[in-house]
Amino acid sequence: MKRNPFLPVRLLALALAIGLIASTASAVTTTKHRRKPAAKTAAKAAPRTAARRKAVSHKLPVAASIPRKRRNVWVQTWDEPTYKDSTAGDKTEGEDPIVRQAAVDALGPLNGSIVVSDPNTGRILTIVNQQLALGGGFQPCSTVKVSVALAALKEGLVERTSPVRFYSKRSMDLTDALAYSNNYYFANLGIKLGYDRMNHYARLFGYGEKAGLNIEGEHPGYFPPAPPKEGGMGMLTSFGEEISQTPLELAALMGSIANGGTLYWLQYPRNPEDIQTFQPQVKRRLEIEKLIPDMKPGMRGAVEFGTARRAKQDDEILGKTGTCSEGRTHLGWFGSFNEGGGRKLVVVVMLTGGRPSIGSMASSVAGDVYKRLASQQFFKTSMPMSPATMLPGLSR
């Protein structure tokens, strides 16, 4: 019988192999769909953790969305079908209709959310499935590795081209680790960083706080006050265990990488007056400008030859996938931005539901958004942003 690819993988062997924390009993949930011998062997031996068993109640009615309180932070639990109308209940006033239509068509019947924003201003151009996007978030899965890589580079713990040995005879550099989303590599970095440093950078990058400025209905994500009891720093930095990330938080972080280090407040103007008076608002400047050249090869590689190959288009796209599960609900993430001349966008896709809800599928949806916009010459202008160009239908 074929094994479920979402069975857990233990990190204990990793911690012992690298000789850093011999006493740490680390459990990592393998959720990647790459067939690697080490991961496959560990998956067969590892039992399902208690955290995964109790993550979502199996008694919830189908298509129920129930807010759940956790440590004074609102998060969402979902037990939804894989296929649904993800546009139900959305209010589209103020959105760019061209971007909106491209995102809706790309998502199709899949259960999920898409956020498209301008990284140079922080303006949200569309949110498909606003209820899902503005809720308390979901486990970030491997998209957390973007923050981990930035933190490790900033602390001088790793260089892009220097290999890191993480078990036995295997080593990998940062570019391949990001492109292939290697769990052992980032568990290693997490152990070296330690909780205090990772907590500092995670909050600097926007975890645990609202990404939007006065966006009605938005709830912040969540960052734990201590390493997870099950898996420790290895689980935190390879799968985002116990973290809740919102699509808006990921969009803001991706925007800061795309624009060279400015974390903007995301703004969602909802009427012509708000659009006419729109002004970008800087949340904070991140000291990552010198780190971005070391990040981009791995994020580019994810699309060119790694876990996000289904997003590949004629124009260059950079991004990071994420795949994991909460209870019986599968999660698939892809945070991305495009490069090249003309207009630059951030596209974040989060899927939730059954088996199609994986990172590679999320990357395919995002790639379709870029493709549909490119077919309408959306990226062919370098027109400076102004209130006039941001009016619906004119923001091309």
Show pLDDT as tens, one digit a residue, over the chain (396 residues): 434 443 343 343 334 333 433 333 333 333 333 333 333 333 333 333 333 323 322 222 222 232 333 444 434 444 555 777 899 999 999 999 999 999 999 999 999 999 999 999 999 999 999 999 999 999 999 999 999 999 999 999 998 887 777 666 678 999 999 999 999 999 999 999 999 999 999 999 999 999 999 999 999 999 999 999 989 999 999 999 999 999 999 999 999 999 999 999 999 999 999 999 999 999 999 999 999 999 999 999 999 999 999 999 989 999 999 999 877 789 999 999 999 878 999 999 999 988 789 999 999 999 999 999 999 999 986 554 444 454 444 433
Q: How far apart are CA 312 and CA 20, in angstroms?
A: 38
Burial class (CB within 10 angstroms; exposed 0-12, middle 13-18, buried 19+) of 280: middle
pLDDT for the residue numbered 233 = 97
Q: How far apart are CA 138 and CA 98, in angstroms?
A: 28
Q: How far apart are CA 389 and CA 146, in angstroms?
A: 32
What class has domain 8-17+83-375? alpha beta
Domain ranges of the chain: 8-17+83-375
pLDDT for the residue numbered 11 = 41
pLDDT for the residue numbered 152 = 97
pLDDT for the residue numbered 81 = 58
pLDDT for the residue numbered 166 = 66
pLDDT for the residue numbered 109 = 93
pLDDT for the residue numbered 86 = 93
pLDDT for the residue numbered 164 = 75
206 with 253: CB under 8 angstroms?
yes
Taken as a whole, the chain contains a residue count of 396
pLDDT for the residue numbered 167 = 66
In the structure encoding, which two tokens stand for residue 308, read together? 């996000």
Other Cβ atoms less than 10 A from the Cβ of 347: the count is 32
The phi and psi torsions of 5 (rounded to 5 degrees) equal: -70, -5
- Name, in order, each residue with C-beta under 8 angstroms of 10's C-beta and a sequence gap of 6 or more: 26, 27, 28, 42, 45, 46
